[in-house]
Structure 1
Amino acid sequence: MSEEQKPANINPEQPAETWFSSWFDTPYYHILYKERNNSEAQLFMDNITNYLNLPEKAKVLDLACGKGRHSIYLNELGFDVLGADLSENSIAEASKNTNDTLHFKVHDMREPFEEKYDAIFNLFTSFGYFENDEDNLTTLIAIKESLSEYGFAVIDFMNVNQVLNTLVPEETKTVEGIDFHLKRYLKDGHIYKEIDFEDKGQKFHYTEKVKALTLQDFETLMEEAGIYLLDTFGDYKLKKFYRNESERLIMIFK
């Protein structure tokens, strides 16, 4: 399972609508994934914005922006950027970087925006973690409705075939003195990651659950949503997508 996926704590006492927001609202989520490669992320932003040939000061939406690392860099490239995320804690942190052309807001990606955007980016496998599969179609329609007439959208997702071929069933990662015990598996069309750790004498358990969507699955959803898939790439250098070998599934659509 790819390390960047948006995770969730499954707690039977929590309402289903909020289960996927609890884990990435904790400090432990950011500790476990602190090793993320910023230079790789910036390379991707350079390549994809050049490919899309976005106009100067284009209005860009970073959908599921987390703490805003992509939003901040896109703004540095000269774009007018809104970063949106369901996590209030992440948006509070990201908002420290607000300026005249960089803003952040708490937003559910299933809801369209009133404003229209020249580009919408949904990055680092921030899709497919809803309890109800219908919400994936709802999200695609919301993205479509939030694009300007000539706007483009980009979804950067894990390549499910490659992930399953290289899945590590169990491992332990130690970060900032915390031993995170990880278990990964495929069940009911979802890739799960069980996360167990102990800190300050307290035991924690979280579960990440992401729909194992293939390119064919996305094509079916996009057809239903009235979306035109323009191109696919297999990594952040925008190399060709290969079904079983590519690291990523990057889709450009309008």
Structure 2
Amino acid sequence: MERDKNNNDGMEKIKNTDHYKAQYQKDFVDKWDELIDWEGRAEGEGAFFINLLKNKGKNKILDLATGTGYHSVTLMSAGFEVHSADGSTEMLHKAWENGRKRNLVLRTIQADWRWLTRDIKERYDAVICLGNSFTHLFAEPDRRKALAEFYAVLKSDGILIIDQRNYDNMLETGYSSKHKYYYAGDRVKAEPVHISDDLVIFEYCFPDQSSYKLNMYPLRKDYCCGLLRGAGFQKITTYGDFQKDYGIKQTDFFIHVAEKQ
């Protein structure tokens, strides 16, 4: 019984919104671009976000999960004004370095989504939260609080773009992936080692035999859309793997575009 209690206590500890900060260690962050593969990601998503933002007339962008800076750098290079935020100082440092390598200076902001307006006073045409990052929030009050903060930093006609893995498929039929989009590095193995209704643990294994784990809450698609409506967003359009027409079972990622007005 004592062993079961210790196991349960350990599981509850890792099902904590703030636990991600301990998981993004410097040596993991230094390998992150090897996992992402910027060229592979660019090939997979193409100009989807650039075209979407331009078509909607959005220019000032807040990248809320900048990670090592791929989307911030891509959008800045396309002419957008971008502010780059993340909860991990290690990620922000790496993003800034990646920007400098490309002759760009990122404006970085260390911020907790749940108290975003404490650190960010400006208003944006669009907020993006990509890379399956929103699933680091494990408690529903945290999810609702974060979305309320996202809503608050948007202009009156602003939009939120948020993505997630296809957890519906993962929970119902098991894990599968085309490895074409977000984790495109062909020398890195990325797959779940635990799947349950309230926790998915992904393990990332690198060629040097190192491995790292990240904990995620398995957001179902309709539940996520319900949260967006509850935060006040009026229109939500969902894409599957960057396509408006998609098959639920064949989709790796959902991208939700939530419009404030």
Q: If the length of structure 1 is used for normalisation, what is the TM-score?
A: 0.76
Native 8 Å contact 1:241 1:249 kept in 2: no
Which aligned pairs between 1:123-202 and structure 2 lie closer than 5 A?
Answer: 123-164=130-171, 165-167=173-175, 184-193=193-202
Which aligned pairs between 1:64-103 and structure 2 lie closer than 5 A?
Answer: 64-96=65-97, 97=99, 102-103=106-107
Q: Which amino acid aligns with 2:49?
A: I
Aligned residues: 230
Cα 1:235–1:101 shift into 2, 3 Å: same
Residue 228 of structure 1 deviates from its aligned partner by 2.4
State the match for 2:231 in structure 1: 225
How far apart are the structure 2 equivalents of 1:252 and 1:186? 27
Native 8 Å contact 1:20 1:130 kept in 2: no
Native 8 Å contact 2:65 2:131 kept in 1: no
Residue 17 of structure 1 deviates from its aligned partner by 6.2
Q: Which amino acid aligns with 2:215?
A: K
What SS is found at the alignment partner of 1:22?
A: helix
Q: Specify which structure has the higher proportion of strand.
A: 1
Percent sequence identity over aligned pairs: 23
Q: Work out whether 1:252 is the aligned partner of 2:260.
A: no
Deviations 1:110-155 (A, max 9, x none): 2233111111111110012124232111111111111111211101
How far apart are the structure 1 equivalents of 2:46 and 2:234? 22
Q: Which amino acid aligns with 1:23?
A: Q
* 2:219 equivalent among 213, 218, 233: 213
What SS is found at the alignment partner of 1:128?
A: helix
Q: Which amino acid aligns with 1:106?
A: Q
Q: Work out whether 1:242 is the aligned partner of 2:247.
A: yes
Which structure 2 segments of 5+ residues have no match? Answer: 1-9, 177-184
Q: If the length of structure 2 is used for normalisation, what is the TM-score?
A: 0.74
What SS is found at the alignment partner of 2:35?
A: coil
What SS is found at the alignment partner of 2:113?
A: coil
What SS is found at the alignment partner of 1:157?
A: strand
How far apart are the structure 2 equivalents of 1:235 and 1:104? 28
State the match for 1:36 in structure 2: 36
* Larger deviation, residues 45-54 vs 84-93: 45-54
Cα 1:185–1:110 shift into 2, 3 Å: same
Q: Compute the RMSD of aligned alpha carbons.
A: 3.4
What SS is found at the alignment partner of 2:82?
A: strand
Q: Which amino acid aligns with 2:193?
A: R
